[in-house]
Structure 1
Amino acid sequence: MAAVPQSFRIRFDGEPAARELRAAAARGLFLGAEHVLGLSSEVVPLDEAALQRSGTASVDEPSLTAMVSYDTPYAVVQHERMTYRHAPGRTAKYLENSLNAAARDVQALIAAQIRRALR
Protein backbone atom coordinates (compact mmCIF):
# COMPACT_ATOMS: atom_id res chain seq x y z
CA MET A 1 0.00 0.00 0.00
CA ALA A 2 1.43 3.34 -1.05
CA ALA A 3 1.61 6.22 1.35
CA VAL A 4 -1.02 8.84 0.81
CA PRO A 5 0.48 12.30 0.45
CA GLN A 6 -0.66 14.65 3.15
CA SER A 7 -0.53 18.36 3.37
CA PHE A 8 -0.87 20.57 6.37
CA ARG A 9 -1.52 24.21 6.81
CA ILE A 10 -0.37 25.81 10.02
CA ARG A 11 -1.22 29.35 10.95
CA PHE A 12 0.86 30.78 13.78
CA ASP A 13 -0.16 33.99 15.46
CA GLY A 14 2.94 35.00 17.41
CA GLU A 15 1.48 38.21 18.81
CA PRO A 16 -0.05 36.64 21.96
CA ALA A 17 3.21 34.80 22.65
CA ALA A 18 5.23 37.99 22.15
CA ARG A 19 2.91 39.87 24.52
CA GLU A 20 3.27 37.21 27.20
CA LEU A 21 7.07 37.14 26.85
CA ARG A 22 7.19 40.94 27.10
CA ALA A 23 5.01 40.84 30.23
CA ALA A 24 7.28 38.14 31.70
CA ALA A 25 10.35 40.26 30.99
CA ALA A 26 8.67 43.23 32.68
CA ARG A 27 7.85 41.07 35.73
CA GLY A 28 11.47 39.95 35.89
CA LEU A 29 12.68 43.53 35.59
CA PHE A 30 10.40 44.59 38.43
CA LEU A 31 11.63 41.75 40.64
CA GLY A 32 15.20 42.73 39.80
CA ALA A 33 14.55 46.38 40.60
CA GLU A 34 12.96 45.40 43.91
CA HIS A 35 16.03 43.28 44.68
CA VAL A 36 18.40 46.18 43.95
CA LEU A 37 16.20 48.49 46.05
CA GLY A 38 16.41 46.06 48.95
CA LEU A 39 20.20 45.85 48.74
CA SER A 40 20.64 49.60 48.43
CA SER A 41 18.24 50.21 51.31
CA GLU A 42 20.63 48.31 53.57
CA VAL A 43 23.52 50.70 52.82
CA VAL A 44 21.81 54.01 52.00
CA PRO A 45 23.00 56.85 54.27
CA LEU A 46 20.78 56.94 57.30
CA ASP A 47 20.04 59.87 59.55
CA GLU A 48 16.30 60.14 60.05
CA ALA A 49 15.51 57.47 57.41
CA ALA A 50 13.78 59.89 55.02
CA LEU A 51 16.18 58.95 52.23
CA GLN A 52 15.71 55.24 52.87
CA ARG A 53 11.90 55.55 52.93
CA SER A 54 11.89 57.47 49.64
CA GLY A 55 13.28 54.51 47.66
CA THR A 56 11.05 53.08 44.93
CA ALA A 57 11.29 50.50 42.16
CA SER A 58 9.27 50.67 38.96
CA VAL A 59 9.17 49.37 35.39
CA ASP A 60 8.20 51.03 32.13
CA GLU A 61 6.81 48.03 30.25
CA PRO A 62 6.72 49.57 26.74
CA SER A 63 10.46 50.27 26.84
CA LEU A 64 11.31 47.35 29.19
CA THR A 65 13.23 49.71 31.45
CA ALA A 66 13.45 49.28 35.21
CA MET A 67 14.12 52.15 37.56
CA VAL A 68 15.25 52.34 41.16
CA SER A 69 15.25 55.80 42.64
CA TYR A 70 15.46 57.73 45.86
CA ASP A 71 13.41 60.90 45.98
CA THR A 72 14.74 63.45 48.42
CA PRO A 73 16.37 66.81 47.60
CA TYR A 74 19.73 65.45 48.78
CA ALA A 75 19.62 61.92 47.32
CA VAL A 76 22.03 62.66 44.45
CA VAL A 77 24.45 64.56 46.68
CA GLN A 78 24.49 61.73 49.23
CA HIS A 79 25.09 59.24 46.42
CA GLU A 80 27.88 61.12 44.70
CA ARG A 81 29.88 62.78 47.50
CA MET A 82 32.55 60.32 48.48
CA THR A 83 33.88 62.68 51.17
CA TYR A 84 30.74 62.56 53.35
CA ARG A 85 31.00 60.54 56.54
CA HIS A 86 28.28 57.97 57.07
CA ALA A 87 27.23 55.68 59.88
CA PRO A 88 28.91 52.25 59.92
CA GLY A 89 27.63 50.10 57.07
CA ARG A 90 26.21 53.12 55.22
CA THR A 91 27.93 54.56 52.18
CA ALA A 92 27.92 56.84 49.18
CA LYS A 93 27.31 55.11 45.84
CA TYR A 94 24.61 53.09 47.63
CA LEU A 95 22.61 52.57 44.45
CA GLU A 96 25.43 52.12 41.96
CA ASN A 97 27.26 49.58 44.10
CA SER A 98 24.08 47.65 44.83
CA LEU A 99 23.22 47.44 41.14
CA ASN A 100 26.71 46.26 40.25
CA ALA A 101 26.66 43.65 43.02
CA ALA A 102 23.23 42.36 41.97
CA ALA A 103 23.72 42.27 38.19
CA ARG A 104 23.82 38.45 37.93
CA ASP A 105 20.88 38.08 40.32
CA VAL A 106 18.84 40.55 38.28
CA GLN A 107 19.65 38.68 35.07
CA ALA A 108 18.61 35.41 36.72
CA LEU A 109 15.30 36.90 37.92
CA ILE A 110 14.47 38.12 34.41
CA ALA A 111 15.48 34.82 32.83
CA ALA A 112 13.38 32.85 35.33
CA GLN A 113 10.25 34.85 34.50
CA ILE A 114 10.80 34.37 30.78
CA ARG A 115 11.38 30.61 31.22
CA ARG A 116 8.19 30.43 33.26
CA ALA A 117 6.24 32.12 30.46
CA LEU A 118 7.59 29.65 27.90
CA ARG A 119 6.13 26.65 29.74
Structure 2
Amino acid sequence: MRSAPIRWNGDAALAAIRAGAVRGVRLGAEHLLQVSRERVPIEEATLERSGVVSVDESSMTAVVSYDTPYAVRQHEELTYRHDAGRTAKYLEGPLHEENGTITEIIAAQVRRAIQ
Protein backbone atom coordinates (compact mmCIF):
# COMPACT_ATOMS: atom_id res chain seq x y z
CA MET A 1 0.00 0.00 0.00
CA ARG A 2 1.33 3.40 -0.97
CA SER A 3 0.73 6.55 0.94
CA ALA A 4 0.41 10.01 -0.41
CA PRO A 5 1.37 13.15 1.46
CA ILE A 6 -1.53 15.32 2.48
CA ARG A 7 -1.10 19.01 2.76
CA TRP A 8 -3.54 20.73 5.08
CA ASN A 9 -4.11 24.43 4.58
CA GLY A 10 -6.77 24.80 7.24
CA ASP A 11 -5.64 28.18 8.51
CA ALA A 12 -5.57 29.62 5.00
CA ALA A 13 -9.00 28.13 4.25
CA LEU A 14 -10.50 29.57 7.43
CA ALA A 15 -8.97 32.98 6.68
CA ALA A 16 -10.43 32.91 3.16
CA ILE A 17 -13.87 31.93 4.48
CA ARG A 18 -13.78 34.71 7.07
CA ALA A 19 -12.70 37.28 4.48
CA GLY A 20 -15.51 36.14 2.18
CA ALA A 21 -18.03 36.37 5.01
CA VAL A 22 -16.91 39.89 5.92
CA ARG A 23 -17.12 40.95 2.26
CA GLY A 24 -20.59 39.37 2.06
CA VAL A 25 -21.79 41.14 5.19
CA ARG A 26 -20.61 44.47 3.74
CA LEU A 27 -22.26 43.80 0.37
CA GLY A 28 -25.46 42.61 2.05
CA ALA A 29 -25.62 45.79 4.13
CA GLU A 30 -24.96 47.91 1.03
CA HIS A 31 -27.87 46.11 -0.66
CA LEU A 32 -30.13 46.88 2.30
CA LEU A 33 -29.05 50.53 2.25
CA GLN A 34 -29.89 50.78 -1.45
CA VAL A 35 -33.35 49.24 -1.03
CA SER A 36 -34.14 51.37 2.02
CA ARG A 37 -33.06 54.56 0.20
CA GLU A 38 -35.81 53.89 -2.31
CA ARG A 39 -38.39 54.10 0.52
CA VAL A 40 -36.98 56.72 2.86
CA PRO A 41 -39.29 59.75 3.19
CA ILE A 42 -37.99 62.50 0.95
CA GLU A 43 -38.39 66.25 1.07
CA GLU A 44 -34.94 67.58 0.22
CA ALA A 45 -33.17 64.17 0.21
CA THR A 46 -31.13 65.03 3.32
CA LEU A 47 -32.36 61.92 5.14
CA GLU A 48 -31.69 59.73 2.11
CA ARG A 49 -28.13 61.04 1.72
CA SER A 50 -27.39 60.47 5.41
CA GLY A 51 -27.65 56.67 5.06
CA VAL A 52 -24.40 54.79 5.69
CA VAL A 53 -23.10 51.27 6.24
CA SER A 54 -20.69 50.49 9.08
CA VAL A 55 -19.00 47.10 9.36
CA ASP A 56 -17.27 45.59 12.38
CA GLU A 57 -14.98 42.99 10.84
CA SER A 58 -14.04 41.42 14.18
CA SER A 59 -17.65 40.46 14.94
CA MET A 60 -18.70 40.18 11.27
CA THR A 61 -21.65 42.51 11.81
CA ALA A 62 -22.93 45.45 9.84
CA VAL A 63 -25.14 48.39 10.70
CA VAL A 64 -27.21 50.44 8.28
CA SER A 65 -28.09 53.79 9.75
CA TYR A 66 -29.48 57.19 8.85
CA ASP A 67 -28.01 60.19 10.63
CA THR A 68 -30.36 63.13 10.88
CA PRO A 69 -32.08 64.49 13.99
CA TYR A 70 -35.42 63.26 12.67
CA ALA A 71 -34.42 59.87 11.21
CA VAL A 72 -35.82 57.79 14.07
CA ARG A 73 -39.05 59.78 14.23
CA GLN A 74 -39.58 59.44 10.48
CA HIS A 75 -38.94 55.70 10.75
CA GLU A 76 -41.26 55.08 13.69
CA GLU A 77 -44.15 57.52 13.15
CA LEU A 78 -46.79 55.59 11.22
CA THR A 79 -49.22 58.53 10.98
CA TYR A 80 -46.98 60.78 8.86
CA ARG A 81 -47.97 61.17 5.23
CA HIS A 82 -45.30 60.50 2.62
CA ASP A 83 -44.91 60.76 -1.13
CA ALA A 84 -45.87 57.70 -3.18
CA GLY A 85 -43.45 54.84 -2.59
CA ARG A 86 -42.00 56.51 0.52
CA THR A 87 -42.92 55.22 3.94
CA ALA A 88 -42.24 54.91 7.64
CA LYS A 89 -40.33 51.74 8.58
CA TYR A 90 -38.14 52.48 5.57
CA LEU A 91 -35.35 50.37 7.06
CA GLU A 92 -37.25 47.71 8.98
CA GLY A 93 -39.47 46.71 6.06
CA PRO A 94 -36.64 46.14 3.59
CA LEU A 95 -34.62 44.28 6.24
CA HIS A 96 -37.36 41.67 6.58
CA GLU A 97 -38.19 41.57 2.88
CA GLU A 98 -34.58 41.32 1.69
CA ASN A 99 -33.42 38.83 4.34
CA GLY A 100 -33.15 35.96 1.85
CA THR A 101 -31.30 38.08 -0.68
CA ILE A 102 -28.88 39.36 1.94
CA THR A 103 -28.24 35.82 3.16
CA GLU A 104 -27.56 34.69 -0.40
CA ILE A 105 -25.16 37.61 -0.98
CA ILE A 106 -23.15 36.52 2.07
CA ALA A 107 -23.22 32.85 1.07
CA ALA A 108 -22.11 33.68 -2.48
CA GLN A 109 -19.10 35.61 -1.17
CA VAL A 110 -18.11 32.70 1.10
CA ARG A 111 -18.43 30.24 -1.80
CA ARG A 112 -16.39 32.55 -4.02
CA ALA A 113 -13.67 32.80 -1.36
CA ILE A 114 -13.13 29.03 -1.19
CA GLN A 115 -13.10 28.28 -4.90
Smaller-chain TM-score range? over 0.9
TM-fit CA distance, 1:88: 1.4
* Counterpart position of 2:107: 111
Task: Choose from 44, 62, 75 the match for 1:66.
Answer: 62
- Say yes or no: does 1:16 pair with 2:12: yes
- Within 5 Å, which residues of 2 pair with 1:80-99? 80-99=76-95
How many Å separate the matches in 2 of 1:13 and 1:112? Answer: 21
Gaps of 5+ in 1: none
After superposition, give the CA deviation of every residue in 1:29-79 in whole Å (9 maximum; x if it has no partner). Answer: 111111111110001010111100000113211101011110111111110
Moved more, 6-15 or 54-63: 6-15
TM-fit CA distance, 1:110: 0.6
Letter in 2 for 1:24: G
TM-fit CA distance, 1:7: 4.5
Task: Choose from 26, 35, 45 the match for 1:49.
Answer: 45
Which of 1 and 2 has greater Rg?
1
After superposition, give the CA deviation of every residue in 1:1-26 in whole Å (9 maximum; x if it has no partner). Answer: xxxx4445545242221111111001
Identity of counterpart residues, as a percentage? Answer: 57
Task: Choose from 15, 34, 38 the match for 2:34.
Answer: 38
Indicate the SS of the match to 2:8.
coil
Letter in 1 for 2:64: V
* Matched residue count: 115
* Counterpart position of 2:22: 26
Could you say what the CA RMSD is over the residues aligned between the two structures, in angstroms?
1.3
Indicate the SS of the match to 2:93.
helix
Indicate the SS of the match to 2:81.
coil
TM-fit CA distance, 1:112: 0.6
